[in-house]
Amino acid sequence: MAARKGSAKRTAPAAPGLGHGEYVVYPGTRAEVYDLLERLSAAAGDSPDFGTPGLSLDRSRLTVRWSGELPAAVRQVVDSAEGVTVTVQPTAFRPGDLRAEAERLVREHPDVVQAATARPEGDGIEVLVPPAVAGAAGGAEQALAGVASAFPLSAEVAPE
């Protein structure tokens, strides 16, 4: 059974049911991977520059997504990784700004935006549009025509 890890004080959703900085622990995954993720989350804290880390399917490579220069504490964690290859991927936008914008879209456009999350890559926002709204508008992208954002939006029809 999977277990949640991470700080309970992080509240911006990174995925349904998970907060930013939280991740799911899957059985059979090496402990050093989760140790690294915990140390990374602790070093990054609530920094708006910290994006969603990416873990390869074989759990041997971790991608740290960050906007701007890495702080010394985060650099130390990255440089001290053992048994896991770590790469730092710059994001196009500040992940914290994307998370805040996703929350705003849901709050201000509840009839059109069923859910919104910052894309893990830090390059925009994924938006789910209710099926009935997308159908009436001729598609998910068309349904978002009146929704303004400073960030690129990637629209999909929400599952029924």
Q: Domain limits of the chain?
A: 31-90, 95-157
Q: What is the DSSP string of 5-38?
A: ES-TT--SEEETTEETT-EEEPTTS-HHHHHHHH
Specify the residue for token string 């196009």: 92
The architecture that CATH gives domain 31-90 is: 2-Layer Sandwich (3.30)
CA–CA gap between residue 149 and residue 125 (Å, rounded) = 10
Instruction: Output the pLDDT for position 6.
Output: 43
Instruction: Output the pLDDT for position 8.
Output: 32
The helices-and-strands tally (H runs, E runs) of the chain is: 5, 10
Instruction: Output the pLDDT for position 83.
Output: 87
* pTM reported for the whole predicted model: 0.80
Q: What average pLDDT does the chain have?
A: 86
Taking 70 as the threshold, does the pLDDT of residue 20 lie above it?
Answer: no
Instruction: Output the pLDDT for position 22.
Output: 57
